[in-house]
Amino acid sequence: MDEIPRRLSRAESQDLTRRRLIEAAREIIVRDGVGSASVRSIAAAAGYSQGAFYSNFPGKEHLLLAVMEDHLDALAKRFETVAQAVLSSPVTAGDKSVPGEIASFFRGLNPKGDWSTLAVELQLHANRSVEMSDQYAKRRDAFLARIGAAFAAIFQHLNVAPAICPNELAMGLVSTSVGFAIQFGGPITNEVRARFMTSIVEAILSTAPAAD
């Protein structure tokens, strides 16, 4: 006998609506730019009315922040998992090679192939939006602090002290990854990105003195 599908609770239904609106907004932003991501187009793409949109978000700016926060939180969680994997691995004295977990992270950094475009679109919009700029900066700084803390733990585990502080390194690597993809001049493969980003971390580790 087929099971009768369980009816979603009100909270579950609202969460599903929010998720679909966020994903629809992301797809429109990547494909057509923030300017094309109107409340009407986002709601239609997600399969909802504009009333459903406003039941979940006060306005477009709030949804754009949710898109950004969703993306950055997922990325930070992935790197924090990488850091935990590195911390659980033994360290060979004098070995300054990039841990395999970090190389694998770079290889799978952009599974949808749209991270760089999304990041640039949201950053440019935030730069021009009085309403969004402060909130964008707070979320970005919180994200970089999480990545920086993960790098700090990795450096301590590897017993190295790079000249670049972890938060600045996080900012530099994110900016470099996005810029490299934008300037690459064509579709960038995961292997190309991973090779480039891994070489940067390798250079930082190879020149870092041992921690006191």
3 state SS for 42-93:
HHHHHCCCHHHHHHHCCCHHHHHHHHHHHHHHHHHHHHHHHHHHHHCCCCCC
pLDDT in tens, 157-168: 999 999 888 999
Q: How far is CA 11 from CA 8, 14, 21, 56, 69, in A?
A: 8, 5, 15, 11, 20
Rounded CA-CA distance 199/91 in Å is 20
Rounded CA-CA distance 54/36 in Å is 18
Rounded CA-CA distance 68/26 in Å is 9
Rounded CA-CA distance 38/173 in Å is 32
Q: What is the pLDDT of residue 56?
A: 93
**Hey, what amino acid is at 94?**
G
Q: What is the pLDDT of residue 93?
A: 74
Rounded CA-CA distance 55/62 in Å is 12
Ordered domains of the chain (ranges, CATH) = 1-57 (1.10.10.60), 60-207 (1.10.357)
Assess contact for 60 and 37: CB atoms under 8 A. yes
If you search the block for the tokens 């494909």, which residue do you land on? 31
If you search the block for the tokens 């991501």, which residue do you land on? 37
If you search the block for the tokens 């009085």, which residue do you land on? 130
Q: What is the pLDDT of residue 84?
A: 95
Q: In sequence order, what are the beta bridge partners of 160? A: 210
Instruction: Write out residues in the chain with pLDDT < 50, as ranges.
Output: 1
Q: What is the pLDDT of residue 1?
A: 44
Rounded CA-CA distance 84/89 in Å is 9
Q: In sequence order, what are the beta bridge partners of 210? A: 160
If you search the block for the tokens 């504009």, which residue do you land on? 50
